[in-house]
Structure 1
């Protein structure tokens, strides 16, 4: 498999974790978002959306990180990263939605660039925007996890799922922007458990530059 990837992209980070958990060998092809390589002609022919990640599995091109994670789980069923139980799957998808649909999009690089370049806000205002929406999302997630009887060592139960795969990159982004997260007791406990797994540690941006 080939993964078109940018080391700091949280969406690409998710896919690296999933590939590692599945123990799937892959080749990384870096796409430098800061140099706008994702908008180059050759890349757009592969991914018209012009985003990362993009997975190439022997010519089968798959974009969007959650779709890729689901594809990998179906292609290599063990270890599963999607719960077998219907109720647990619903909880997992709720958590994935909180992170990938609510927190991540409003703080995505292209949104931040638009706020700076087109709307004309200052760097300070942009960082305030980022911190606000990050904390709104993470504090809601903390409350959700604290109230759920399905929360265990991980977001759902005792093994990582796509929910945890989404959580860790989002916390990395929070740390990059010096956002205080000590109050997120459940989130931090789960994060510690994830970080002790080599599949998560080896997917970290510092290991992927």
Structure 2
């Protein structure tokens, strides 16, 4: 069996949990607490698995370790193509990837724990300044996504969930946590509601994880 190293509130780990559930692939979960004991992602044992000091990491049955959530999901897509998370049509595929990348490459990298911690350590940012920082970048990304997603489909790009939906739902959880006003994004909110009605998404929610606090 595969082993997923993650943290209940990590949006990147959340993405992988959703993908695993949609694919019907079982994985043992091991919690890597990102705050306790100075951050368990920095322990020598974990760093041997993931030199980036980040979660998630997916360890395969043969001991191979995969890192980076989108790379892990790409592996799962190749391992079990059905149900597909990316369209076969090249243009449709590019649109799904672009939307997913807005979250995973534009929003998330400047909103993760180590960046927010550095704002305090290097620049003295207080809690409210950090909240505003998080919301600023999510607002920028969601404004783009609201225009990018399809307007007349159940999910972001069609009638089945895609990588774009996975990334959106996980980031929306973070947006709610940090108090971002989501009223300007009715289409994104509609997509989130549709996704969370599915068992695969609901079971992956942070609060449903064994290490939830």
* TM-score w.r.t. length of structure 2: 0.94
Question: What is the aligned partner in structure 2 of residue 63 from structure 1?
Answer: 67
Between the aligned partners of 2:73 and 2:4, the Cα distance in structure 1 is 12
Deviations 1:164-208 (A, max 9, x none): 110001000010011110221110111111011000000000001
Unaligned runs of 5+ in 1: none
Question: What is the aligned partner in structure 2 of residue 207 from structure 1?
Answer: 208
Question: What is the aligned partner in structure 1 of residue 14 from structure 2?
Answer: 13
Question: What is the aligned partner in structure 2 of residue 124 from structure 1?
Answer: 128
Question: What is the aligned partner in structure 1 of residue 28 from structure 2?
Answer: 27
Match of 2:50 among 29, 47, 51: 47
Between the aligned partners of 1:200 and 1:123, the Cα distance in structure 2 is 30
Does 31-40 or 115-124 show the bigger shift?
115-124
Between the aligned partners of 1:177 and 1:197, the Cα distance in structure 2 is 24
Question: What is the aligned partner in structure 2 of residue 142 from structure 1?
Answer: 146
Between the aligned partners of 2:153 and 2:123, the Cα distance in structure 1 is 43
Between the aligned partners of 2:143 and 2:105, the Cα distance in structure 1 is 15
Deviations 1:108-159 (A, max 9, x none): 11100000122211211111111111111111110222xx57x621111110
- How many residue pairs match? The answer is 206
Between the aligned partners of 1:91 and 1:143, the Cα distance in structure 2 is 12
Q: Which runs of 4+ in 1 moved over 2 A?
A: none
Between the aligned partners of 1:164 and 1:14, the Cα distance in structure 2 is 9
Unaligned runs of 5+ in 2: none
Between the aligned partners of 2:27 and 2:125, the Cα distance in structure 1 is 40
* TM-score w.r.t. length of structure 1: 0.96
Give, in angstroms, the shift of residue 82 of structure 1: 1.4
Between the aligned partners of 2:124 and 2:178, the Cα distance in structure 1 is 20
Match of 1:88 among 92, 101, 119: 92
Q: CA RMSD in A?
A: 1.1
Between the aligned partners of 1:125 and 1:138, the Cα distance in structure 2 is 20
Q: Does 1:108 align with 2:116?
A: no
